[in-house]
Structure 1
Amino acid sequence: MLPAHFSLMEKSVNSNIIRDLVVWVESHIEDNLQLDDIAEKSGYSKWHLQRVFKETTSMTLGNYVRQRRLSRVAIDLRLTSQSIINIAEKYCFDSPQSFSRAFKSHFKISPGGYRRSENWITQGILPALYTSVHHASTPVRPGFAAALPCRHIGPLPYDVIPLKFY
């Protein structure tokens, strides 16, 4: 039997693998991702990758990709004027019908109804598990502290749009 710290090391390694993989999936969410593609990118077998992903995140890899795709669709429906068909194509749904079925099954409302709703419906939106946003740090000298005003110009990437979940 292996000592307990080996188990912790394995979990840490698995967590790093999954974090890197999720960052890659997020950057390719508009591609027609298949489990084979993701497994090939990771360098692990499909079986092992799915087992480690579920162990680490408590959800299946396929379910994560599907929920993230639908979450991004919901955000696009609210923030863009793209047609529903173009959004369905952008996120690689096979047909407008399969897109509408998947969206309605997940959010309990049609894509058009979601777009027309007065308030954001955040129930069902899954934020990215990990993000690739890096924060810049400023060196601080002993006895000296400064607060510099920061301002962002331009649209925010999807993974940093603040969403309130109630």
Structure 2
Amino acid sequence: MNGLNNEVMWNAVESCDENYDGVFIYAVKSTGICCKPSCKSRTPLKENVSYYPSFSLAINEGYRPCKRCRPDLLHTNEEDIILSAKHFIEKEYRNSLTLDRLAKEVGVSKFHLQRLFKKSTGLSPLEYATKLRMIEALGLLQDTEKTITEIAHKLGFKSSAHFSSMFRHHFHYTPTIFRKGLNK
């Protein structure tokens, strides 16, 4: 982790050094909680502490954020939050994507993420994911012979009916009508 060893990180935890916030997160095995190095909670036993380069890795290991220091709100640069969220959505939009999962991944609360993302893009994170699905749907309908059902499943929709409904909502015609229009 950025050339840090466990002793340097432990000293930062012991002294509640805020200079290390954003550099690493520490987690306490006995409580199941992860904190920023500057957390003013009682200092844990050294043998109960693990270190992580990011909040999301600690969460993936089963730790929950401290309610005192709020490591889940570590990001302060709004542009970085939006870019991280967009990158994750662009990678995962075909899969089951929830606001909770996205917020954990970028390290902010879901309410903060929703507000920032909408302010920046004009869309909610899930609307952005749906837009990406619809753009890919247009390409698949245009450039492949895949059935509507195959396209729906490839894009992560549970059924072709739901896919068709979303497609009609975005483009004001069904996937079938779109495809027929291309073949004229």
TM-score under structure 1 length normalisation: 0.60
Amino acid at match of 1:53: F
Larger-Rg structure: 2
1:89 paired with 2:160, answer no
Q: How much has 1:42 moved relative to structure 2? A: 1.0
CA contact (8 A) 2:93 2:130 kept: no
- Number of residue pairs the alignment of both structures matches: 108
The structure 1 segments of at least 4 consecutive aligned residues displaced by more than 6 Å after TM superposition are none
Pick from 53, 78, 94: which aligns with 1:14?
A: 78
CA contact (8 A) 2:117 2:124 kept: yes
2:134 counterpart residue number? 70
Give the alignment of 1:17-166 within 5 angstroms. 17-118=81-182
Q: How much has 1:94 moved relative to structure 2? A: 2.3
CA contact (8 A) 2:164 2:175 kept: yes
Residue by residue, what CA displacement relative to the aligned partner does 1:106-128 show, whole Å, maximum 9, x if unpaired?
11111011122238xxxxxxxxx
Q: How much has 1:77 moved relative to structure 2? A: 1.0
- Mark the runs of 5 or more structure 2 residues left unpaired by the alignment: 1-75
2:8 counterpart residue number? none
Query: Structure 1 or 2: larger strand share?
Result: 2
Q: How much has 1:58 moved relative to structure 2? A: 2.0
Amino acid at match of 2:167: F
Residue by residue, what CA displacement relative to the aligned partner does 1:7-66 show, whole Å, maximum 9, x if unpaired?
xxxxx9211221122122111121111112111111111101101111211221121111
Note the aligned Cα RMSD (angstroms).
1.8
CA contact (8 A) 1:78 1:115 kept: yes
Amino acid at match of 2:173: I
Q: Which structure carries more relative contact order (alpha carbon 8 Å, separation 6+)? A: 1
